[in-house]
Amino acid sequence: MAMLELNAVEAFYGTIQALFCMSLRCEEGQVTTLLGRNGMGKTTTVASIVGTIATRSGEIRFDGEIINAKPAYEVAQLGIGLVPEGRQIFPNLSVYENLVATAANYSGSGNPWTLQRVLEFFPRLSERLNNQGSQLSGGEQQMLAIGRALMLNPRLLILDEATEGLAPLIRQEIWRRLEQLKQSGLTILLIDKNINEFVHIADRHYIVEKGSVVWQGDSAALSGDTELKSRYLGI
């Protein structure tokens, strides 16, 4: 059984349909990616999973349980953590406050993420503990957004454009951290444009075009298909 499964999900913004028959699976312990050009429905897919947009039809299952109709806070409590597009850290709270404000051990982990563990994982954050979110660099804000999501101790971590606008060296640091998280057993759903940089840590890929999946396959199949990448991803 997949940890997360979407079956024929449809979602709308008013009368505009954004998801058409969206289906995908995230297997436990794997890194799954959602790829596709801007406006194709990746963020809407994430919103439907985390419960911030209502689905009109189809099924979303987490550990086998249907979660479509659940409000966002219940989905978080089930163990789905989100690093949202645009980071959305609290700009007027300190790094410390950002990390502890929503912390919880939702997965009931025996070795939960704590403030100390997050600061060891992202040492730059410990140097900035009393700075406000708005005073951080883009890379530090992203580390904070990931640290905040880890403090919920999710079983599935979703990252929506986590490296957008970051310098290559900072992106490398984020990929290294995600690789460590994968090695620790965390299941990850990743949306990102820098495919060539993370393809080695990913297991399965889904390409989204106009609200549905047009291709799926493993990293070897994706890497070897230049025509596919240029057609759907523009790279």
Least CB distance to ligand ATP at residue 47 (A):
7
Pairing of strands 31-35, 204-209: parallel
> Is position 11 an interface residue for ligand ATP (rule: CB under 6 A)?
no
> Which member of 15, 38, 116, 184 binds ligand ATP (CB under 6 A)?
38
- Judged by beta carbon, residue 18 or residue 119, the one nearer ligand ATP is 18
> Is position 147 an interface residue for ligand ATP (rule: CB under 6 A)?
no
With beta carbons less than 8 A apart as the criterion, state whether 208 and 36 touch. yes
Torsion angles phi and psi, residue 133, rounded to 5: -50, -40
Q: Which range touches ligand ATP (CB under 6 A), out of 41-49, 113-121, 124-132, 165-173? A: 41-49
- Judged by beta carbon, residue 39 or residue 224, the one nearer ligand ATP is 39
> Is position 15 an interface residue for ligand ATP (rule: CB under 6 A)?
no
- Judged by beta carbon, residue 38 or residue 116, the one nearer ligand ATP is 38
> Which member of 40, 95, 145, 156 binds ligand ATP (CB under 6 A)?
40
Sign of CA dihedral 197, 3, 216, 85: negative
> Which member of 4, 6, 9, 18 binds ligand ATP (CB under 6 A)?
18
> Is position 16 an interface residue for ligand ATP (rule: CB under 6 A)?
yes
Cα(231)–Cα(146) distance, integer angstroms: 31
With beta carbons less than 8 A apart as the criterion, state whether 75 and 49 touch. yes
> Is position 44 an interface residue for ligand ATP (rule: CB under 6 A)?
yes
- Judged by beta carbon, residue 41 or residue 58, the one nearer ligand ATP is 41
> Is position 98 an interface residue for ligand ATP (rule: CB under 6 A)?
no
> Which member of 5, 22, 26, 41 binds ligand ATP (CB under 6 A)?
41
Sign of CA dihedral 169, 173, 179, 182: negative
Least CB distance to ligand ATP at residue 42 (A):
4
> Is position 43 an interface residue for ligand ATP (rule: CB under 6 A)?
yes
132: β partners? 94
Cα(93)–Cα(106) distance, integer angstroms: 23
Question: Residue numbers of the site for ligand ATP (CB under 6 A)?
Answer: 13, 16, 18, 36, 38-44
